[in-house]
Amino acid sequence: MPQSATTARIAARMDVLPRAPTRRRIQWSGYLYILPAFVIIATFHFIPVFYAIYISLHKGAINKFVFTGFDHYLRALGGEEFWNALITTFMYAGLTMPFTIALGLFFAYLLYQPFVKARGLFRAIFFLPYVVSTVGSSIIWAWIFDPRSGLANWLLRAFGLQPLRWLIEPSGIGELLAKNMGWTIPTWASGPSLALVAISIFSIWQAMGYDIVIFLAGLTNIPSELYEAARIDGASGWTLFRHITVPLLAPTTFFVVVISVIGSLQSFNHIFTMNHAAAQSLGGPLGSTSTLTVYMFDQLYTHANYGYATAIAILLSLIILAFTLFNFRFLGRRVQY
């Protein structure tokens, strides 16, 4: 009722008012509306970027910085630690991403089947690990991986296998396997440490629900006519999945890959908590779980190397930025089917 009254009033006035050429009316108060947000964002999220560049070129204690040029960058790029952290980061990404994506797509596809009832319930359960705080769930998983009383070793014993040291095991999984088999392998083949693998198992558990939700959204966007047409042509089951679902999901998959790599580059909370819960130093055992962000934080918090830590943060950001831009460009062009 009030709506129609308003409409009538507008109509009435439209007739009365001369239709003046619509002139641009500048609303200066707009600046006032954006002011609070801009003050905060400029102070804490924009200007600090420039300050970060400044800090990365200096050394010494806070407020007593001494100019040191590109020393920190040279130290990072010329030394082993930075590269080791980068390799660890990509090993971690390689241990988690294929599994979360495969499981995510698998469960999303099952949930997507039209006959499935309680889809919402399943989706809600799958997504729960992603919602719960990482510190909390990392504590739970550190307890599951406890060498003496953990569920993981209980399971191994139940299958008649040797218990493992999980989060405190610095040896590579390749090395452990070889030792078990009685082989000797070169050091480069020892692979990621068991501790990193344990952390990756946690990540797969945590991120699976996220991938399911994203894939499910992608699947719902595929026009059902395509499936119908293919069915009329006699396609079914695997053929439908392989030739319709997979190619049409390519943009979604690409998005998930980029987001996962960025997530690996920024991974911190669970590594910090699980290292701590297993009584290891940050990035331990023997630095085998020190991803780039963990390394950055260690340099900042444990060693108070502000300049060097900032230089690492900037290098890390450049890598992330490259992935983000790649994502934008690629998605902007759309994936070819």
Partner 1 sequence: MAWTTVKRPVTSVDRLKSLTGQTAIYAILTLGALWALFPFAWMVLTSLKGYTEAYAVETFLPTRWLFSNYIDAWNTVGHFPRYFANTLFIALCTVAGVLTTSTLAAYAFARMDFPGRDALFMVLLATMMIPFEVTLIPNFILVRNLKWVDNYAALIIPWIASAFSIFLLRQFFKSIPQELFDAAVIDGCSHLRFLLTIVVPLSRPALITSGLFTFLASWNSLMWAILVTNKPEMRPIQVGMAAFIGEAGTQVQLLLAAVTISVIPVVLLYLVLQRWFIEGIATVGIRG
Which residues between 313 and 332 bind partner 1 (CB under 8 A)? 313-314, 316-317, 320-321, 324
- Closest contact distance (angstroms) between CB of 25 and partner 1 is 7
Q: Which stretch binds partner 1 (CB under 8 A): 25-33, 175-183, 228-236, 239-247?
A: 25-33
Site for partner 1 in 88-117 (CB under 8 A): 103, 107, 110-111, 113, 115-116
Q: Which stretch binds partner 1 (CB under 8 A): 78-86, 178-186, 207-215, 240-248?
A: 207-215
Site for partner 1 in 174-193 (CB under 8 A): none
Among 214, 244, 249, 261, binds partner 1 (CB under 8 A): 214
Among 67, 83, 154, 326, binds partner 1 (CB under 8 A): 154
Among 70, 143, 183, 326, binds partner 1 (CB under 8 A): 143
- Closest contact distance (angstroms) between CB of 164 and partner 1 is 14
Q: Which two tokens stand for residue 148?
A: 């003496």
Among 217, 229, 246, 322, binds partner 1 (CB under 8 A): 217
Residue 290, interface with partner 1 (CB under 8 A)?
Answer: no
Query: Which residue type does 62 have?
Result: I
Residue 34, interface with partner 1 (CB under 8 A)?
Answer: yes
| Dist. CA 296–CA 316, nearest whole Å | 9
Residue 201, interface with partner 1 (CB under 8 A)?
Answer: no
Residue 336, interface with partner 1 (CB under 8 A)?
Answer: no
Residue 133, interface with partner 1 (CB under 8 A)?
Answer: yes
- Closest contact distance (angstroms) between CB of 14 and partner 1 is 9
